[in-house]
Amino acid sequence: MKITKVVLTGANGQMGQAMLKVLDNESDIEVVGAVDVNGGMPLNKVLGNDNPLKVEVSLAEVLANTQPDVLVDFTNARAAVENASEALKRGVRPVIGSTGLNTEQVSLLHSLCEENRCGALVAPNFALGAILMMRFAVECSKYFPDCEIVELHHDKKIDAPSGTAAATARMISESRTAANSPVEHREKTLGVRGGEIFGVPVHSIRLPGLVAHQEVIFGGEGETLTIRHDSLNRSSFGAGLVLAVRKVLNLDRMVIGLENLL
């Protein structure tokens, strides 16, 4: 069996900790390195086994020493692009779970993939239910052009809107045949109608107690239709991430969205 060697960045974070365990449980995947700005933590504490590695600070050194196949990134938009750049120049394929990347950052990644003739995946959500929620939303938007997105996340989330909400809005805008919505905004209080992404109003809620949730609400004549997805804990992202690590090995270009690898 071919073993895929993986380095993970953002190892001290909420996703990093959860996904290290998920990856370590797969017999065809070996976690050969873990990196975070503060480094330090022994991996056996996270994994509950006798793994001799610890979280390191320098990604460049870890990549040089371990020569992995894949870099998994759960940091933030800026760090994700820098980390992917380090990986791509060594022929290591990035799987980027970090969100909040702007258009310039995405096109820089495209160019880096082309220059280095190396594949990459940028996926704002690895949960299967979230992928289906986006797909169903696209389908509904053909019949109900009026819709709004409400995304609800834990209070430690640093970006808003969520990557999933931004992706959903983009996909809806690409498939809408008639864009009736939104009606003219009349805000007495600035921002009360949310922010508009690709013509779709998005409302971001951040509260303790939440994990990751999204509603896409469609309105029609005398009816509404709501599609809702809930990630109740971070294990919801595990199966999609494992699939991404396996599939990115066959990519020679950058792909956006796990739905394009299913």
Ligand X SMILES: O=C(O)C1=N[C@H](C(=O)O)C[C@H](O)C1
Ligand Y SMILES: NC(=O)C1=CN([C@@H]2O[C@H](COP(=O)(O)OP(=O)(O)OC[C@H]3O[C@@H](n4cnc5c(N)ncnc54)[C@H](OP(=O)(O)O)[C@@H]3O)[C@@H](O)[C@H]2O)C=CC1
Length of the chain: 262
Pick the catalytic residue from 153, 203, 213, 229.
153
HSE-up (13 A, CA, CB side) for residue 76: 10
CA 87 to chain CA centroid, Å, is: 18
- Shorter beta-carbon distance to ligand X: residue 179 or 261: 261
Burial of 215 per CB tally in 10 Å (0-12, 13-18, 19+): middle
Pick the catalytic residue from 157, 213, 229, 247.
157
Residue 176 makes contact with ligand X by CB under 6 A: no
In angstroms, the Cα distances linking 51 to 45, 97, 100 are 9, 24, 32
- Shorter beta-carbon distance to ligand Y: residue 134 or 146: 134
By CB under 6 A, which span of 53-61, 132-140, 156-164, 217-225 interacts with ligand X?
156-164
Residue 126 makes contact with ligand Y by CB under 6 A: yes
- Shorter beta-carbon distance to ligand Y: residue 190 or 207: 207
Residue 162 makes contact with ligand X by CB under 6 A: yes
Q: Which residues from 195-214 bind ligand X, rule CB under 6 A?
A: 212
Residue 123 makes contact with ligand Y by CB under 6 A: yes
How far apart, in whole angstroms, are the C-alpha atoms of residue 119 and residue 129? 25
- Shorter beta-carbon distance to ligand X: residue 141 or 164: 164
How far apart, in whole angstroms, are the C-alpha atoms of residue 153 and residue 233? 11
Residue 157 makes contact with ligand X by CB under 6 A: yes
R_g (Cα) of the chain, nearest Å? 19
Tokens read off for 206: 């951040």
Residue 148 makes contact with ligand Y by CB under 6 A: no
> Is 213 known to be catalytic?
no
Nearest of 61, 57, 83, 56 to residue 72 by alpha carbon: 83
Q: How many chain residues interact with ligand Y (CB under 6 A)?
A: 26
With H, G, I as helix, E, B as strand and everything else as coil, classify residue 14.
helix
How far apart, in whole angstroms, are the C-alpha atoms of residue 171 and residue 148? 13
Nearest residue to ligand Y, by Cβ distance, number only:
13
Q: Which of 125, 141, 168, 181 binds ligand X (CB under 6 A)?
A: 125
> Is 203 known to be catalytic?
no
Pairing of strands 93-96, 120-122: parallel
Residue positions annotated with a catalytic role: 153, 157
Binding residues (CB under 6 A) for ligand Y: these are 9-10, 12-16, 35-38, 74-76, 79, 97-100, 123-126, 159, 163, 237
Q: Which residues bind ligand X (CB under 6 A)?
A: 99, 124-125, 153, 157, 162-164, 212
